[in-house]
Structure 1
Amino acid sequence: MMKAILRLKTNSIKDSELFYCKDLELFDFYQDYGMGSIALMAKNNPGFMLLLTTGTVPFTEEYLFELQTDNCDALFDTLKGKAFTTPGRLLSTTVFEYPLGKSIALEDPSGNKFLLFEE
């Protein structure tokens, strides 16, 4: 199996791990590499991993990645009613629909923006 690893800078490894694994419930802890780096594996796609490293998070308005989900509407309903345990947040106020699918925008505790989408 081929893997894709996305490197993300984070202000807090712990907050980021809690956000992706507990708040969103989309990733599982995979490995602690030490020296401020851990890997998380997407629950529904073991070929996609986030490598979280401590460091200065570059500011950008762009979405850094997109992750496919089976049901954007159900996930949005779950997330909008959930009290996150971290400073991460749901950016979307509704599910955005476009001709080829749907998406919702989120921001992790370090300010990294990303989309969850459904085709």
Structure 2
Amino acid sequence: MRFDIFLEIESVEKTIAFYVNELKMFDFSHNFGNGNILLKHKKSSICLSTILKKSIDNPNANSFAIQVEDCKKEFERIKKIEFSNNSGISPFPNGNEFIEHPLGIMFYLKDPFGNEFSIFEDYYDFLGKDAKKY
């Protein structure tokens, strides 16, 4: 299982310089483009995922993400829960409750305090293992 922590950054280069080259606690894993990179902690399954500050216009901006093996199954399980305090699945701006894209599938949840996080399934393991066959 992988846990992603999201960082707002101003520069991909400065981020790599600090976390990879200077701190030496993370390895560069993948560049998704548009300031979105994935850095994997050298000794755990924690990853830093970045987004450029100037590109943050997503009302679903989350602070962490949890990887699961079957996102659709987890979505259906969570959808049945009767959450209190306006918690639960948080739709995307287009109204969809989950989104599937070439790299994987994900959905957002909101806790009682309005904090959002995502549940995701990667169709490819960016941490160096072979691609899943889908």
The TM-score normalised by the length of structure 1 is: 0.46
- Structure with the greater alpha carbon radius of gyration: 2
Q: Which has the higher strand share?
A: 1
Larger RCO, structure (CA 8 Å, separation 6 or more): 1
The TM-score normalised by the length of structure 2 is: 0.41
